[in-house]
Amino acid sequence: MDHEIELRYQKLTKHLEKTFGEDLDVHALLFLIGVNELGKGHDKYSKQEKTDLIHVAICTLLTPAGYYEYKGRDEDGWPHFENIRNLPPINSKDQEHLIKEAMLDYFIEHQYFEE
């Protein structure tokens, strides 16, 4: 994993832990991004909804790279995406790197984090 990305990611998690508490791992940040994108704020979510929120986050993060395209919201307000192109075959370490880099871009773009 690119050392610079990992250092930037650690700074991001330290910054977000001030608001959301300690031990924010990749899945916790994906959940937060999904909740933010859904726009309904803090709520009780079922296990399936939590899975869906993480999916929304991944689609959101990979949209700028051209892997997904935002299609709109359904009648319940959930965002929907279309898969435009598949990720190349990469190992789990490279997937994590890709997601962390996309998270950094997301939080900077939405002005939740400044380097």
Q: Mean pLDDT, 10 residues at a time, over the chain (115 residues)?
A: 87 91 91 95 91 98 97 97 94 92 96 82
What is the residue extent of each domain of the chain? 3-109
Residues 60-65: contacts with CB within 8 Å, 24+ apart? 60/33, 60/34, 60/106, 61/33, 61/99, 61/102, 61/103, 61/105, 61/106, 62/87, 62/102, 64/102, 64/105, 65/102
Report the predicted TM-score, pTM, of the whole model to 2 decimal places: 0.91
| Separation between Cα atoms, residue 8 and residue 97, nearest integer Å | 12
Q: How many residues does the chain have?
A: 115
